[in-house]
Amino acid sequence: MALRPVLVIPDQRLRQVAKPVKTIDNSVQSLIDDMFETMHHEEGCGLAAPQIGVGLRVIVMDTSQDIENGLVLALINPVIVDKSKDNQVFKEGCLSVPDQSAQVKRSREIIVEYLDREGKKQTLVASDFTATCLQHEIDHLNGKLYIDYLSPLKRNIIINRVNQNYS
């Protein structure tokens, strides 16, 4: 396992759409291990491969702090197949938008299909914080960041703060 550097806005690799994983081989297993190590080191609850400069549809998450719904998972080629119309608002942050956060509205419950580390197809019904985390990380696979849900003014304030602190 190895720590990998996390990309920070405005790095354009964060805006690229990730490609599906075709074969779950040792390189994908190593990527997942590195992602877990990096996520825990950075004290995040989720990490998408594009955040470490790898353009593959892989995410890891650890929402175990959510006692009722928490999970520790690696998801390969995740797809949201259904969303509730009932929404919730959570204060979101992101390792690629360091030291910033904002309120974001997302679906309260989602259904995700994905491949696990062994390549077995899985279906997950997630709600509350875990659903928010999954939606946030799957957005990364599509080149989208949580700041894209904000008004232009709020988004620009956050981008300017990050640019001042990390340029």
| Residues designated catalytic | 137
Alpha helix (H) residue ranges in the chain: 26-41, 128-141, 152-166
Residue 144 CA to residue 139 CA, distance in Å, equals 5
Residue 125 CA to residue 113 CA, distance in Å, equals 9
Q: Which residues contact 166 (CB under 8 A, 6 or more apart)?
A: 8, 98
Q: Which residues contact 102 (CB under 8 A, 6 or more apart)?
A: 91, 92, 146, 147, 150, 154, 158
Contact 152, 101 (CB under 8 A): no
Contact 32, 58 (CB under 8 A): yes
Q: Which DSSP state fits 13?
A: G
Length of the chain: 167
